[in-house]
Structures are given as C-alpha cells and as structure tokens.
Structure 1
C-alpha cells in the first residue's frame, strides 16, 4: 500500500472561453496518478460535507483511491486557476482550511503496511495541519520510503524564509525530493536552482535524500544522486495547460521506483545506489507522464496504458489514435 497525505481541493479554472471546476490539490493529484498507474494507494486529507466535498470523494473513488478519513464540517478548499491563453500557464488564488484533527491517534493504524508516504505543497506549509503532516513523516520514516514536493504557493505562504525552513525539515526526512525550478528560485533567491538541489541532496546526511529532481518545463527534468547528475529532454507536445503536470511527473517517478521494488525503508541502500542510467530511465518515464497531462485540459494524469503509448508512440498517445 502507498499513502499520500495532503490537501484536497477543487480547482475552479477560468479561461477566456469560460469557467470549469475540477477536483485537484497537488497531493490528491499524486494519489490519483499513482492509482491510475495501477498501484494500491490511500489518500489522507480533509474535505467538507458539501457538494465540492462530494465531488472530491467521488473523484478519488473513481480512480480506486482509498479514503480512510470521511468528510468534516469545514468547507471544502477551493483554488481558482486563471489560465493564460497564450502559453497555458496557470496562476492561482486560494480559499482553504488545512487541519487534520485527531490524526496523531489514528496514524499508526492508517500507515500500517504502507511502503511509501508522499506529501508536499500546502499541506506541509500551512498551520495547523503542517505540524501533523511533519509528525506523520517522522512516524513513517523508519519503515517507509518518504517523498516530498514543496510545490510552493507564494500567494498562500508569503514568507519565503518560513517556507524554506519548513521545506528543509521535510527534505531532510525524504528519500525522493522533486521541486520545480520556480520553487527553488523562490525559496533561494539569486541561487542557481540546480545548486540548491545539490545542497538539498546533502541535507539529513546519511539519512537524507537518495535523489533530488528538478523539473524545468520545456527544458526537461534534471536530477542529482550519488551517481552524479542526469537530465532528459521533455517530450514535444502541444500544451493545453500545465495544471497538474508536476503532480503527474511525481506520480510516475514514484511508480517507477515502486516498479523496481525500491520502496520501503529496507531498500534505502539500493535506492541510494541507483545508477545514472536507471535514474535517466525514471526521469524519462516521469517526463512522459507529464507530457500526457499537459496535452489535455486539467489535472488529468495518465493511466498505465496511456503512459506506455506516450513512451512508445508519442503522436498516437496525444491524438488518441
């Protein structure tokens, strides 16, 4: 069983052609992405007892994601995304609540049997829930592979110094870290994002990350691990929008690690010893998943079959032929 902990929300997407609502939230998207790649996964997060909350639960269940927590009495969180007609890029504003009351008492039971725990984004930054998420990671670390994506939201967490300190707590406990170049530029102004990633690899010493991956949009992903530095090109596709692309990348990266049997704390040594060639394969696999997602509207990660088509016949995968 794989576990994702973090925020669920509804993306209200505004374009010049109209407005649509989609279920989203970075951790939720990763959970759905993993499930569509045929991994058993549970999502630990909150959603309200309201129509938006019903859509969150239905969306997760439609992809066979397990929900150990039911709805609460707070409103379901909402993110409004404004899509640029020229390049498909999304800018966000948020109305959300993040807390997980009673999680500490239920956590040992919910994490029993999990071999991987992923978290990130708002869930790791916004009080009061962020403290519960950090406790969850600390609890899980001795037995599970931990992954983290800061997926920074400066419109919510405006204090970059705080965000940097908070991110580094999670990086030091993580085995797999993924960040965008924009995340790193915001967290470490004036520093080359790749230099920041190299520094993150050293956080936590012998218990720190096995790899740090930097996504760079059309420039393609780059990564550093014990074997050195690796990069692959981004597949060339027509971009519908970039919503959820990083989350699809993260899900496919973790899927590749699980497919190789490298999840679980007992496999940390092997994960750290991953060769440059194997890491390149993981990056290409993840980049292909992101390419499927950007080729269509919304946070819509690929199934395993769709990802396989993208890897073997990109034109067919994008056109659906």
Structure 2
C-alpha cells in the first residue's frame, strides 16, 4: 500500500518585480567615480528583500562579470532572479552624473528584453514594474503580457520613473504611461516625472485624473517635501524627515518598495483584496506613507541605492 502523501505547506507569498537590473557608473561632483548595481525595478526588489519580503526579479542581464555582481548584490538581500533572466548578451550600464545637490542625470547603454516562456508563480500577490522596462521595446510588450497574466490573482503596481534620454518626447511616452496607469492598482510617480509628462499642469489635477482612470491609489512624491496620496475618498499629505542628503540615487525606488511592504503588512495585496485596497482608510494610509518617507530618507542619507533593512526602521509596520 502506498503511504499517504504529506500535505505540502502553502508557498510563501511572493512579490514579482519586472524590469531592468544594470550597473550604475556614478560620476560625482567632486570628480570621483563609483560603480554599483542598480536599475529602478531592481532597487524596488532589493528594498523588499531588505524589508524581509520574499521578492523575485524578472530582469535581463548577462553572464559576464557585471551580471555576476548583480546576482551577488541581489542574493545578499534575499532576492531571487527569475528563471531565464540571464539571457542577455551583456549586462546593461547606466552612467549617472551627480550635481552638487546630489541630484542625478543619466545616460544608458542598455538592451531590454524578457526571457521566453515567462511564468508568474501561483503564490504571487503583487507584480511591480516601471521605468525603462515598461516603455523600451522589445521587452515592454512582454511586460504588458506579464501584467495581464498576473492581474487575476495579484495586485499590479507601476512607477513611470521617466528616463528622457531613452524614452523620447513627452507626447510619445504619455499614451504608453497613461495606459499602464489605467491598468494598475497602485501608482507611485515623482513630481519631476509629472512635470516632464505634463508641462505646466497642476499635479493634483493630474493625480486625481490618473486615480479616476483605474488605480485605487496614486501617490506623488516631492523629494524632501514628502508625498501626496490620492484615493477615491482621500487626499493625504505626509512630510519627509529632514536629513543630510548624500545623493538621491534609488530614493524613489526605496519609497516604492516600502509602499509595497506597507500595503502587504496591512493585508491589502492580492487580487482578492482589491475592494479593501480601494477603501483604504486614512489611518492605515498615513502609517504606510510615514514609513515610506522614512525609508526614502535613510536611502538619501547614504551614497548609492542603499535602502535600509527592516531592523533599521523605527516603529515599522
């Protein structure tokens, strides 16, 4: 007689982050140059891993030394690479030039594609994408397929994180961004991105229009001035802690990772929780956003995209 099989415990819930991982070559105002792994979606995944969330990155890197460096960087924060993510001929590079205020401008040597036969794991509760990966072909078409496949069971989140040197003119990019916004449950966008997409527009008006197009929650970040969140019922502002800024590399990405972590802690991720996410109350939203600005403040206080680990946060959720 065959013994009865032992029931397997359910898999731990997963965040799937889809997008570029690359090497940032950072030229500082004092003339020094640093190299370190980065890429907006990769930074979001790294933040989630450091906040003790199970995260997987679906990317496009090579098997070269830069790719090895990215793999080691991710694994050090408990982030897995999705199968097939190492199929690129070479690993992409972003060159960042930092001003005296720590702000960054970027140039890219980058290709973006997705591995064949992408599978969204059954235990996925959120899929995040943004920046270059959501716009640059041929990978952007694959990103949209992944989002469509994930939507029946997972929350979909998006951060435009505009890179003008790769994305073209605002009029060309705007329809792509707006379509992704309309299909997402949560959108985080910087004031700089909105000013570029909609020159001269009232950002509150844009955020409200975006929220009404589909997302339950739209958040506009204002750097050191905090963030504004818009839902169907609320408009909520939070201030950012005052810190000495080393640079702003990865600040928005760490905010995004902390946002996913906070909504996860509040039990609001997963397709089955869409109604609850849409009805998020002001107290819960305030708690989540206060941690987001705390995480971003820690990130800008140190060089590079170096988000905090959970143990570094005070009063964490």
Say whether the fold is shared (TM-score over 0.5): yes
Aligned mate of 2:118, from 88, 102, 106 = 106
Work out the CA distance in 1 between the residues paired with 2:37 and 2:133. Answer: 16
Deviation at 1:72, TM superposition (A): 2.0
Deviation at 1:276, TM superposition (A): 1.7
Deviation at 1:161, TM superposition (A): 1.8
Whether 1:171 aligns to 2:181 is yes
Q: Secondary structure at the match of 1:177?
A: strand
**1:70-89 maps to which residues of 2 (within 5 A)?**
70-85=85-100, 87-89=101-103
Tell me how large the CA RMSD over aligned residues is. 1.4
Aligned residues: 302
Q: Secondary structure at the match of 1:308?
A: coil
Work out the CA distance in 2 between the residues paired with 1:182 and 1:194. Answer: 13
Unaligned runs of 5+ in 1: 313-321
C-alpha deviations, 1:55-103, integer Å up to 9, x for none?
Answer: 1111111111111234224221110011112x1111111110001141x
Question: Which sits farther off after the overlay, 144-153 or 273-282?
Answer: 273-282
Larger radius of gyration: 2
**Aligned equivalent of 2:172:** 162
**Aligned equivalent of 1:10:** 23
Whether 1:36 aligns to 2:50 is yes
**1:258-269 maps to which residues of 2 (within 5 A)?**
258-269=264-275
* Contact 2:212 2:232 (C-alpha < 8 Å) held by counterparts: no
Unaligned runs of 5+ in 2: 1-13
Work out the CA distance in 2 between the residues paired with 1:77 and 1:155. Answer: 15
**1:173-188 maps to which residues of 2 (within 5 A)?**
173-188=183-198
Work out the CA distance in 2 between the residues paired with 1:89 and 1:3. Answer: 29
**Aligned equivalent of 1:317:** none
Question: Which sits farther off after the overlay, 65-74 or 281-290?
Answer: 65-74
Give the TM-score, by structure 2 length: 0.92
Aligned mate of 2:294, from 273, 288, 299 = 288
Work out the CA distance in 1 between the residues paired with 2:44 and 2:280. Answer: 23
- Please state which structure has a larger fraction of its residues in helix: 1
Deviation at 1:261, TM superposition (A): 1.1
**Which ranges of 4 or more aligned residues in structure 1 deviate by more than 4 Å?**
none
Question: Which sits farther off after the overlay, 45-54 or 292-301?
Answer: 45-54
Deviation at 1:111, TM superposition (A): 2.8
**Aligned equivalent of 2:130:** 120
Deviation at 1:277, TM superposition (A): 2.1
